[in-house]
Amino acid sequence: MYSCSDLKKGLKMMIDGDPHVIVQYDFTKPGKGQALYKCKLRNMISGSLFDRTYRSGESFEPAHLEEREMQYLYQDDNGYVFMDKKSFEQITLSEETLADDKYFLVDNMDVEILMHGDHGIGISLPNFVNLRVIQADPWVKGDTAAGNNKPATVETGYTLAVPSFVEEGTLIQIDTRTGEYSTRVKE
Amino acid sequence: MIVEPNWQLARKRKTIEQRARILHKIRAFFTEQGFFEVETPARIPVNAPELHIDAIASGNWSLQTSPELCMKRLLAAGYDNIFQICHCWRAEEQGPRHLPEYTMLEWYRRDCDYQQLMHDCEKLINNLVGRKSLTWQGQEVDITMPWPRLTVKQAFSQHSSTSLSQITDEKKFSELMSNEIEPFLPRNKPLFLTDYPTLQGSLAQQKADDADCVERVELYIAGLELANGFTELTDAAEQRRRFEKEEKQRQAAGKASCPLPEKYLDELETLPNAAGIALGVDRLIMLLCDQPTIDEVVCFTPEQL
């Protein structure tokens, strides 16, 4: 079982028999009052969003979902298409279902599809993915301070802060749990 | 893989440098106002019992949840105007504005009440900002003095369908405060929320004209709860009763019981009229550096250790 201190964005738990994922999380503690754990949850089957506030001492049943390893193929008008490499069966997940995970999909990448019966209701990404920078300001010569950053956009359209020495065309590693830059990748 | 400096640490460098300058200015401000800085132990035998604050154990003792007991013992021993910048620890408090280990600025003034603390806050923030306004995450805040004061009673009558006198349950109070009051407090100026129900101010002096309320103040800037202060309760017998009540509630909630801070209760007899306030330094840095979360203003979060 999870306790309140396990609650965070991305955590999956069962509520009223359905798997839910926390899409937004906030911890508040007004003055000397009790801690409140405010969650925006998405029902992973129906897609409906709602807010719920929890208090210390409550516990939650983890959502154990069946996972199926599949390969990401491409994006089309209906969403993102994945294929089972053994049976060649294909599954399409909508943009809403993937939410921010869509930014971390690379063609031909293996991912775990979270299943509810025959339906894919989400994916489980590897902790790190490599993506190529397609837009970034050039490196100002002489800027060697390690902490200086600038925005960069990667091939999936995702924008993040990167060190000043990262240039267009650079392959970088991103931590999918935080969405943050990790390091450049040697090619 | 290419070996690079740790980006999680490197990217915060500018904010951390700015943080150092702010800490320096805070110390200069209080020194100029006639305060002197004290350092009290971070590891103490016992904290003041509070229903919703849990200490982190350190051997048979605890890490401080606040430096208040030690600082008030100094006040009682004749140290008049003192301040401290120190780390405090509170179990299981983590979120966009909370870390289990964080930095507190706490100051005490002899022979005055919480009104003076509010002036101190106005002057301190104006001194640190050096302009007429600050902007935090798109919210412009006019910080010219004086800042508005609103009593908790007024806040409930303005923003909640429940009036303060109807609330007897402490849980209900926190919930309404968090859901119906705080999100709707005006943000274009800093705001002092004052005069809390006695249950919400275990170490605060009761108001002379309202026995159900204590002289406690919370400062909000741009919706961030920044500081909590009060006129100190100097009645040792009343303090013991409140501690015992708080301790009973802790036990009823199934929380670890701890002995009362007896030395503090003994020495409270010589505590002069005084007022003290604690201000969350990390949140102050968030405001002054326009950073969205507390993680951005500390060198390391627990996850980065």
Query: Would you write out chain B's pLDDT as a tens digit for each of its 305 residues?
Result: 678 889 989 999 999 999 999 999 999 999 999 999 999 999 999 999 998 899 999 999 999 999 999 999 999 999 999 999 999 999 989 999 999 999 999 999 999 999 999 999 999 999 999 999 999 999 999 999 999 999 999 999 999 888 888 887 888 888 888 889 999 999 999 999 999 998 787 788 989 888 889 999 999 999 999 999 999 999 999 999 999 999 999 999 888 888 999 999 999 999 999 999 999 999 999 999 999 999 999 999 999 99
Distance from CA of B38 to the nearest CA of A (A): 25
End-to-end alpha carbon distance in chain B: 22
Q: How far is the C-alpha of B167 from the C-alpha of B153, rounded, in Å?
A: 11
Using the Cβ of B173 and the Cβ atoms of chain A, whether some distance falls under 8 Å is answered with yes
Nearest by CB to B93, from A29, A32, A55: name it.
Answer: A29
- The count of other CB atoms within 10 Å of the CB of residue A108 is 10
Contact A32 B93 (CB under 8 A): no
Contact B96 A149 (CB under 8 A): no
Contact A163 B7 (CB under 8 A): yes
Q: How far is the C-alpha of B190 from the C-alpha of B185, rounded, in Å?
A: 10
pLDDT value, residue B198: 84
Q: How far is the C-alpha of A81 from the C-alpha of A83, rounded, in Å?
A: 7
Using the Cβ of A28 and the Cβ atoms of chain B, whether some distance falls under 8 Å is answered with yes
Q: How far is the C-alpha of A28 from the C-alpha of A42, rounded, in Å?
A: 21
Question: What is the identity of the amino acid at B170?
Answer: E
Contact A147 B12 (CB under 8 A): yes
- Residue B228 with chain A: CB contacts under 8 Å: 31-32
Contact B52 A35 (CB under 8 A): yes
ipTM above 0.95, yes or no: no
Query: Tokens 């120190």 — which residue?
Result: B86
Using the Cβ of B256 and the Cβ atoms of chain A, whether some distance falls under 8 Å is answered with no
- Residue B8 with chain A: CB contacts under 8 Å: 180
Q: How far is the C-alpha of B54 from the C-alpha of A107, rounded, in Å?
A: 48
Average pLDDT over chain A, rounded to an integer: 91
Contact B94 A31 (CB under 8 A): no
